[in-house]
Structure 1
Amino acid sequence: MSVLHVNIIGAGLGGLCLAQGLRRAGISFDVYERDPAPDARFQGYRLRIDANGLDALTECLPDGGIDRVRERAAVARTGGRFVTPQLEDAKVVLPPSWHDAHTDSAVTDHRQRTTTGAARPTPHAPDIPGDVSVHRQTLREILLDGILDRVHFGKSFSRTTTIADGRRVAHFDDGTHSLPGLVIAADGTQSRVREYVLPGMAPRETGDVCIYGLTPLSTALLVLMDAHGEATTMEGSTVVFADGFAVIVEAMLFRRAQRGDTVPPTPSTVRTPGEMPLTPVSDYLYWAFIGPSRTLLGPAYTCAEMPDTMPLARIESMAQSWHPHLGSLFSHAVPETVRVSPVRSTASPLPWQIDGVVGLGDAVHAMSPAGGLGANTALRDAAQLTRHLRTVADGHVPLWQAITAYERDMCERAREAVRLADAGAALLNARRGPSAATQPSADLMHL
């Protein structure tokens, strides 16, 4: 059998986590990314990594890598609020004690997680780490560290061909191609690899959109302080239940950088090949609106058609009658940080069963961000696929058998994650805030 080589299409979180896992396992790989550079495109803001995602990162990153993730995460803040637009209690039933389930089962983990998704361990397991909130670009930079020499930018996938021994070659729009090997579709919701091997299998449009952005904390501190000198949205996460949509707000307060660690390199700086510097990130308040497109954008627009200045104007208009603290949060947002994204979902993820091509993450199982499970599920895919490919590299099982087992397990986990995400979206889209008898989805705060 030929030496195993893996071609990963897409340098998102799932693809890079897989690359790190393969590097650790000693398996040859290349990553191909259509963006021209690591920082060529906006990558998003706050991202909640749960216990399962942390496990996957621990498994795939080099020794000490997970410590780097935790050190660069926002300062952990317990608590959470479920409120109306007037910052009144939304009468959500909270559990008597908060805990963070830490199991190998995604189903058990997310059914047992607290209403707020807060990071507070059980009294009987003080050493169990809780969820962390990270800046998405920071996590991506950590995942790029040490493998930049194997990541090829400016490579837009076009097609695959198969050589005599069954291995696949990925071809790109610029006329170049990969080495023969296994092709991994890690290129997101609008995967070109999926469209090539399974045309017409794109995830469905849900009709929802997410509008998200940030407000610098230096400004937010001036406008969000209450009469007692405490910021109303600074403790944990806040979910605002409006009429037919919801807003999630969370403060991202970072530890001060250790000396030299997040300082961008100067031209004279000597770095190890493949080393990725971490971009400094200032404290900010993250917020995200999620709900029907017609409600948030208006009937006249779609995400693609809306002018750049319109989303923030829509938000400010909707929030005019809200509590001044919330209204000020959006009026002081940085306009260029506001983004609109359609919400897509894969109704029932199924194994692809395509020789030489396998998918992970959103390419296979896109889901609503309302459950906060998309990135964590992709990271788990990466760790699981790494384990299966290691058995192939060690000569224990043939490649087809390993891929079959991976796809079966991955799709089973993904179907449950999609179900939970859809349930969270349904609650967020409720016409009015939940009643006192209603317990919200366990993962609303993960958005």
Structure 2
Amino acid sequence: MPGIPLQVVIVGGGLGGLCAAQGLRAAGIDVIVYERDPSLDHRPQGYRIHLDSRGAGALRECVPARLYELFTATSGQPSRRVTIVDERLRELHAVEFDGVTADGDPASFSASVDRMTLRRILLAGLEDVVRFGAEFTRYEPEGRRVRAWFADGTSAGCDLLVGADGAGSRVRRQMLPHARIKDMGTRCVYGKTPLTDAVAELLPPRLAEGFMSVRAGRLGLALGLMRPREDPARAAARLWPGLDPHWRGDYVMWSLAVPAALLPGSDAELSFHGAGHLHRFVAERVTGWHPALVRLIEAADVDQTSYVPIRSSVPVAPWEPSAVTVLGDAIHAMSPAQGSGANCALLDAALLCRTISAAIASGGPLTAAIGEYERRMTEYGFAAVRASEQAASSFGGGPLGRILKWVGRLSP
């Protein structure tokens, strides 16, 4: 393959797809990203996420040094404690830990990040190769190459097609029609409360030290403070002038995990009724809880309320590698119970870039490189799926599963 330009098409402009595009471009490989949404912030896609050494290491491997520095500068302080309380804010369990950082060392990185800020960082420098409003429909093999088709009738030929299009991946459905994604029977309603002075006075002091989970029967409310180490706009001006991180101030992310049967309608009905309907549902669920929690939900930015059905991939046996592959939720969607989804997607992106680059350097066949990537990716990806399922089921699907690895078995 030396001297032969390689063309890669990525379907999906989420964290994994953009990270892969950064890494491929850095390796001198032609890449184009096709994203179905008309813009980066077209719809709510979550707020505060946790990245660890897997995600940080992948980012440092794929993005320019200044973008990696911008990522660490805009991350939150590392968590020092995980606290579990009841609905009256009485502490039930806690664990303290150290040895993690939010500085530039990916080996010990562990911190919260704002998903939209990170996505804009990953888009930096790729503006000319990301096509928004491009809905992928199918692909067709063309000898050793493949052609991707889109809803507007246009197409793009490439040497490698990468499906980074999430749990509902159309690439995966065509490539692995037998691969299934199961509904875990749980829904997470996400919300965002701006951190005003009045809201700051409501917060339990322990929340400043790290993740907090509220246990209330079959419900679980996760709370996470998002306060960057450096103002994202100022950090961007210093490290990547012209980048707008779209930062609108510190906030508390909250997520109510609830059995689907308790929600006021089907998934289609909830989508139709919108954010206000979801916010009212959460406000009603916390009635009678500690007044600080009630007011925290009342003070939320209602329009930012959204929900996500919790789904999990069913692991599949190895398949024959080809000029089409997948990464992230497109192949190993998982419960958020252990905070591995975004980390695994970024890990996939770095592994894919590294494997392809090695094949180009050695002159080896692309298909063999893709096979090696898929072997390693499915090994750790499906292991993370199983671990996340176990953590979620251990606590009824609530957010408490996320801290399984820290606190072990919880008493009732």
Length-normalised TM-score, structure 2: 0.89
Instruction: Map 1:275-286; keep pairs closer than 5 Å.
Output: 276-286=243-253
Q: Distance in 1 between matches of 2:86 and 2:233?
A: 42
The alpha-carbon distance between structure 1 residues 314 and 443, as it changes in their structure 2 partners (threshold 3 A), is farther
Q: Distance in 2 between matches of 1:145 and 1:443?
A: 35
Q: Distance in 1 between matches of 2:317 and 2:282?
A: 37
Partner residue, 1:181? 159
Q: Distance in 2 between matches of 1:349 and 1:407?
A: 12
2:216 is the counterpart of 1:237: no
The alpha-carbon distance between structure 1 residues 128 and 440, as it changes in their structure 2 partners (threshold 3 A), is closer
Match for 1:65 among 64, 67, 79? 67
CA contact (8 A) 2:16 2:348 kept: yes
Post-superposition CA distance 1:408-439 (Å, at most 9, x none): 111110121111211221233279x99xxxx9
Q: Distance in 2 between matches of 1:430 and 1:28?
A: 42
Match for 1:419 among 381, 386, 400? 386
What value does the CA root-mean-square deviation take over the aligned residues?
2.7
The alpha-carbon distance between structure 1 residues 64 and 349, as it changes in their structure 2 partners (threshold 3 A), is farther
The alpha-carbon distance between structure 1 residues 351 and 186, as it changes in their structure 2 partners (threshold 3 A), is farther
CA contact (8 A) 2:120 2:245 kept: yes
Q: Distance in 1 between matches of 2:233 and 2:376?
A: 43
SS at the partner of 1:149?
coil
2:150 is the counterpart of 1:172: yes
CA contact (8 A) 1:352 1:358 kept: no
Aligned length: 398
Q: Distance in 1 between matches of 2:288 and 2:197?
A: 21
SS at the partner of 2:295?
helix
Higher strand share: 2
Residue 190 of structure 1, CA deviation: 0.6
Higher helix share: 2
Partner residue, 1:302? 266
Percent of residue pairs bearing the same amino acid type: 35
CA contact (8 A) 1:254 1:283 kept: yes
Post-superposition CA distance 1:217-242 (Å, at most 9, x none): 106536515xxxx7453331111122
Partner residue, 1:204? 182
Match for 1:337 among 262, 280, 304? 304
Q: Distance in 2 between matches of 1:258 and 1:183?
A: 33
SS at the partner of 1:249?
strand
The alpha-carbon distance between structure 1 residues 440 and 37, as it changes in their structure 2 partners (threshold 3 A), is closer
Unaligned runs of 5+ residues in structure 1 are 101-118, 264-270
The alpha-carbon distance between structure 1 residues 223 and 294, as it changes in their structure 2 partners (threshold 3 A), is farther
Instruction: Map 1:110-149; keep pairs closer than 5 Å.
Output: 119=100, 129-149=108-128
Q: Distance in 2 between matches of 1:425 and 1:68?
A: 33
Report the residue type matching 1:74 in the other structure.
Answer: G
The alpha-carbon distance between structure 1 residues 129 and 204, as it changes in their structure 2 partners (threshold 3 A), is same
Report the residue type matching 2:266 in the other structure.
Answer: T
Residue 77 of structure 1, CA deviation: 4.4
Post-superposition CA distance 1:257-298 (Å, at most 9, x none): 3775557xxxxxxx99xx643222301011111231123x15
CA contact (8 A) 2:83 2:206 kept: no
Instruction: Map 1:36-115; keep pairs closer than 5 Å.
Output: 36-91=38-93, 94=95, 98-100=97-99
Q: Distance in 2 between matches of 1:150 and 1:364?
A: 24
Partner residue, 2:224? 250
Larger mean CA deviation between 70-79 and 401-410 belongs to 70-79
Residue 18 of structure 1, CA deviation: 0.5
Partner residue, 2:405? 442
SS at the partner of 2:65?
coil
SS at the partner of 2:172?
helix
Q: Distance in 2 between matches of 1:402 and 1:177?
A: 25
SS at the partner of 1:90?
strand
Q: Distance in 2 between matches of 1:260 and 1:236?
A: 25
Partner residue, 2:410? none
Match for 1:159 among 138, 144, 150? 138
Partner residue, 2:172? 194
Post-superposition CA distance 1:318-344 (Å, at most 9, x none): 211211111111121121111111011
CA contact (8 A) 1:245 1:289 kept: yes
Partner residue, 1:113? none
Larger mean CA deviation between 167-176 and 311-320 belongs to 311-320
